[in-house]
Amino acid sequence: MNPPIKDWQGRTVWLVGASSGIGRALASALHARGARVVLSARQAQALQDFVAQHPGSLALPLDASDPDQVRHAAQTLLQAGPIDLVCYLAGYYQPMRASDFDLAQALRHQEVNLSGAWYVLDALLPALLARRAGHISLVSSVAGFRGLPKSLAYGPTKAALINLAETLYLDLHPQGLGVSLINPGFVATPMTAQNDFTMPALITPEQAAAAILQGWAAGDFHIHFPKRFTRLMQLLRLLPYRWYFALVRRGTGL
C-alpha cells in the first residue's frame, strides 16, 4: 500500500515526541540503520543526551501543542534538505472517567494528541506535495478503536488520529506520498506506567520499534502490535454494541 522503506542510509527522519518510550527506541533503531534522525519533544535535556550518544542525530526541542514552535522547527529542517519521513508520536494520557471529568485535562489531550499532528501537517504538507515524495506516519492506539473505561479524554483523540490517517492516505497516495497508521497495544513506557491494572501482552519499546520498522519495510498502511492482542481488539470493533458493552464491563469490572 506504501512504497516499502528498507534502506534507511542517508534518509532524514523527523520523530516528534521522541524523548522516551517508543520514540526514543525508534530513534535508536533508525540511527543504527544509517538514518539521519531528528528528534523533537519538550524534554530538551533528554534529546541532547540522545544526540551525545548517537553522533549525527539532531535535537530540535519543541512543544508539539505550539504551532509556532512546530512551524519554526519544520522550516529549520527543510532549509537543510528534504524530509523523507515524519512520525508523530507525541502523546498525553491521564486516566479519566465521566465521574471525574476535567475539561482542562481533556483539552490538553486534544492539544498534544491531535492538534499537534495538524500543526506538523500544516508545516510539512506543502513541501512534501511539491516534492511528491516522503512519508507521514501517525501513532494512534488501540484505545481509538472503540470506547474504553478510563479513556474518556485519551480515546477520542486517538480515534480522530485513525480517521485522519485514513483520510490522508486517500488524498496523498495518488500524489506519491506514503501514509501509515501505527496502533500499539500496551508498551512499557512512562505513559502506561500510570495504569493500575495488569496490561495484557505488554511489550518493550524496543519490540515496538522493531514492529514499526517491519511495517515500514513491508509498505503497510496499518502497523499494529503485538498482533496477538491487537487482532483481538480489531475483532471487538465488529461486535454489536450490546455484545461489546457487555464484554468490556465483564472484562474490566467497570
Q: Grid coordinates in use for 251?
A: 472484562
- Among residues 198, 205, 191, which one has the least CA distance to residue 29? 205
Q: Decide if 154 is catalytic.
A: yes
- Among residues 66, 9, 62, which one has the least CA distance to residue 37? 9
- Residues in the chain, overall count: 254
The crossing angle, in degrees rounded to 10, of helices 44-53 and 21-32 is 20
A 10 A CB-CB count for 76 gives 12
Chain-centroid distance of CA 6 in Å reads: 20
**Cα gap 235→87, rounded to integer Å:** 27
A 10 A CB-CB count for 10 gives 9
Catalytic residue among 88, 92, 93, 154: 154
Cis peptide before 82 (omega within 30 of 0): no
Which residues are bridge partners to 86 per DSSP? 14, 136
CA atoms 154, 88, 137, 21: torsion sign = negative
> Any idea which residues carry the catalytic annotation?
154
